[in-house]
Structure 1
Amino acid sequence: MAVSFHIMCIRLLASFPLLLAIGAGMVSAPGRAQEVTAYIGFLAPQSGSNQERGVSMVNGAQLAIDEINKKNIKVNNARVNFQLIVQDDRFNANTGKLAAQYLLKRNVLAVVCHSSTVCIATADIFQSAHIPQISVGATNHHFTQLGYNNVFRMFGHSEEGGILFGQYAYRDLKLYNIAVIDDKTPSGSAMADQFSDGFKKAGGFIAGRYSVSDKTSDFNEALASIKEKKADAIFWGGTHLQAANMIVNAKRLGLTTRFLNAMNGMNNQNVLSRVNDVGNILSLESDQPRDKLAKWKSFEKAYTTSFPGSYIDVSALRAYDAIQILGDAIKSSNSLDPQKLAETLHTEKFKGLTGPIEFDQEGNLKNPVFTVYESQGTEWKIVKVVKAD
């Protein structure tokens, strides 16, 4: 795929301030400093069943855009004005590809994406243009195993979290017989696979493995089979809203088993309100307890003030950090060259809202932290903080 003329200009002329100004849309007026606009793309669901999550993470990113625009970041003595271009990927690979092509036409310098489905489907598009692609929700390890040097993940992947949670379920929860359901997506299937591997290697038994469509709300066939097999627990690999529907269906069928989920943003109040305080839900997330984060209170206040009525998804914190580190990388490298930005992201350490941010050679977050949460009435209680080996 051809790289847009705009980005070619930036790469070839980065050392020539006047020409860079022309290529990047820099404007100036008598008595005013020069300014250049840096566009950052965001692929996230803004409609459909995952809309609430998508809106939350875009809100987090916009907060960061507003903040870094106040920092007066300059490249070659020209002030950089950051703008976010959001595209609704509808949690769909083909829609994501079309949206990615649009973002290239808009001359974005970097892209934030969410799901494994869309991040993986669009990775070759952004790699061909050498544009940094930062994921705030792609759990599938494959995203950073493509051999591309422009992909980054803001949290732990499924091979780390899934295996850890499988081991935890056997050793700490004393569960020995678990049924596993996935939603057939790259993220859900990989998470279910990794959880199953970790659980079996620890000594557990998989009572049954089931797959359903990521669009369905009918879990009756799988749940009836699981009830007959008397599994100790059900592990779900998929989105948290679909998980809520499954839990309600399971209770209606008389299942009293525990429900386990991993890295799907389950630990929010919206889920608990949907399942009517059912309890018995455990979720592992790749995050740190929020009260341990130095900047959490100020972020929470800014978010709730700017976006009243929108809950704060875990990916909103990662999206905020993704934009912040892009601003830091541009400032550090004194460049709007996307390839230079990718190189800088690989080599520098950042202090984020979510904690220390440093990427390994693949683009994965180094030393990710995982937290196990348990539903208790209308609240999520932190049970244990664990780290990958």
Structure 2
Amino acid sequence: MKLKHIAAALALLGAAGVQAQDTVVKIGHSGPLSGAQAFSGKDNENGVRLAVEELNAKPITVAGKKLKFELQSEDDQGDPKAGVAAAQKLIDQGVKYVVGPYNSGVAIPASRAYNDAGVLIASVATNPKLTQQGYKGLFRVNASDSQLGTKMALYAANELKLKTVAVIDDRTAFGQGVAEEFKKQAKAAGMTVAGHEFTTDKAFDFTSILTKLKNKKVEAIFFGGYAPQGAPMARQMKQLGINAKLLGGDTICTAEMGKLGGDAVGENVLCSQGGAILDKAASGPAFKAKFKARFKQEPDVYAAAYYDATMMYAQAMQKTNSLDPQKVGAAISAGAYKGVTGTYSFDEHGDMKQSPVTIFNFKGGQPVPLTTY
């Protein structure tokens, strides 16, 4: 008889143990963790990792249970096909919350798969087409190409007083999008666009297209593309004696640009990046210090936005007392989240209502903020 009582008591204890267990919430990350853009992918992943570690150190409770967050990270190689495969992998693992993809060319096709599976996505991909698809659970946690390209053109016209510019794009969804927006605004601001050349995101020799533009005596070249191409482009401009400035979007606003470009990347290179100046943001310096202490390096372009996106998900889970992505997504759409880089509130397309753009140049190989537009 006693044994039965003991067994029953143990069974009850076992049940209580299950009750007391934490609820696991998987946060997915998709980005280029290998290849030329791996420095960005790993930096972004570390932004998510820092948020996950902080959430687990001070657990939040939803529906009476403590949440334990787990990071599931997939390498999408910055490639559309690999990005859709990575999305499928995360969906199959039961992930309902994703931060990424980083590249517009990956985010546009992958977002279809995520949307069909009822997964929420917070991406920094900038091509306007991403949010024009009409997906309810998709949020762009950054300025779009139209803001990045437009503000860079306005800065070139109003502050640098440039008259003749040219454009090079790498034919990716990002590069093409941001270059077209720059071009449109440059013309509207009264600048002459003397040429539009094309390359790829795998090229390293730009001599022939740069020589063509040198002959047109342009004062600046806007490059729609990424740092692994932007840096050799800056070097070749120097070798060819082209004194024009090299302008670009957020993807060349990175320490990697200075590292790869050496003394060819200085005040002659200017770039636009979504968000206010981190050092001037209220919690910016504290975030930088935390990040550096944890990863032994400075945060790069989007680590803070990826951190903010993860925290935004967690806050919405708490607010709705639910892990249902539909309810969490609706709370994000209707509310506002104050993060490290600013306040995240979204319009009906999932674009940020207000996304300031900061213009940078380079000093000592590092991007240095000049002004917020």
What's the TM-score, normalizing by structure 1?
0.88
The residue identity in structure 2 corresponding to 1:117 is G
Partner of 1:92: 79
The residue identity in structure 2 corresponding to 1:144 is T
Change (3 A) 1:183 1:28: farther
2:301 aligns with one of 276, 298, 314: 314
Aligned residues: 357
Partner of 1:168: 155
Moved more, 325-334 or 169-178: 169-178
Partner of 1:351: 338
- 8 A contact 2:147–2:357 mirrored in 1: no
Q: Partners in 2 of 1:30 and 1:175 — Cα distance?
A: 69
Partner of 1:12: none
Change (3 A) 1:384 1:31: closer
- 8 A contact 1:28–1:35 mirrored in 2: no
Partner of 2:4: none
2:238 aligns with one of 238, 245, 251: 251
Q: Partners in 1 of 2:45 and 2:364 — Cα distance?
A: 29
1:267 aligns with one of 248, 253, 275: 253
Partner of 1:133: 121
Q: Partners in 1 of 2:76 and 2:341 — Cα distance?
A: 25
- 8 A contact 1:56–1:311 mirrored in 2: no
Q: Partners in 1 of 2:118 and 2:366 — Cα distance?
A: 43
Change (3 A) 1:31 1:192: closer
Deviations 1:239-275 (A, max 9, x none): 12210111111111221111111121x3333322322
Partner of 1:181: 168
Partner of 1:197: 184
Partner of 1:7: none
- 8 A contact 2:145–2:177 mirrored in 1: yes
- 8 A contact 1:178–1:233 mirrored in 2: yes
Counterpart mapping for 1:48-127 below 5 A: 48-113=35-100, 114-127=102-115
Deviation at 1:32, TM superposition (A): 7.0
Partner of 2:276: 288
Q: In structure 2, the residue corresponding to 1:145 is in which secondary structure?
A: helix
Change (3 A) 1:28 1:218: farther
Deviation at 1:69, TM superposition (A): 1.6
Residue 385 (str. 1) matches residue 369 (str. 2): no
Q: Partners in 2 of 1:30 and 1:85 — Cα distance?
A: 26
Q: Partners in 2 of 1:244 and 1:73 — Cα distance?
A: 44
Residue 142 (str. 1) matches residue 125 (str. 2): no
2:199 aligns with one of 200, 209, 212: 212
The residue identity in structure 2 corresponding to 1:83 is E
1:35 aligns with one of 18, 22, 26: 22
Residue 299 (str. 1) matches residue 284 (str. 2): no
Deviation at 1:28, TM superposition (A): 6.6
The residue identity in structure 2 corresponding to 1:321 is D
Q: Partners in 2 of 1:377 and 1:227 — Cα distance?
A: 26
Partner of 1:11: none
The residue identity in structure 2 corresponding to 1:313 is D
Deviation at 1:29, TM superposition (A): 5.0
Q: In structure 2, the residue corresponding to 1:139 is in which secondary structure?
A: coil
- 8 A contact 1:277–1:376 mirrored in 2: no
Change (3 A) 1:366 1:47: same
Q: Partners in 2 of 1:89 and 1:238 — Cα distance?
A: 18
Counterpart mapping for 1:323-338 below 5 A: 323-338=310-325
Q: Partners in 2 of 1:298 and 1:119 — Cα distance?
A: 30
Deviations 1:18-48 (A, max 9, x none): xxxxxxxxx9753972321011111001000
The residue identity in structure 2 corresponding to 1:330 is M
The residue identity in structure 2 corresponding to 1:288 is A
Q: In structure 1, the residue corresponding to 2:68 is in which secondary structure?
A: strand
What's the TM-score, normalizing by structure 2?
0.92
Q: Partners in 1 of 2:75 and 2:196 — Cα distance?
A: 32
The residue identity in structure 1 corresponding to 2:79 is N
Moved more, 51-60 or 336-345: 336-345
Percent of matched pairs sharing the same residue: 33
Higher share of residues assigned helix: 2
Can you give the 5+ residue segments of structure 2 that lack an aligned partner in the other structure? 1-13
Q: In structure 2, the residue corresponding to 1:208 is in which secondary structure?
A: strand
Q: Partners in 2 of 1:302 and 1:170 — Cα distance?
A: 38
Deviations 1:107-133 (A, max 9, x none): 012111111111101111111112111
- 8 A contact 2:227–2:256 mirrored in 1: no
Q: Partners in 2 of 1:342 and 1:269 — Cα distance?
A: 34
Partner of 2:328: 341
Deviation at 1:348, TM superposition (A): 1.3
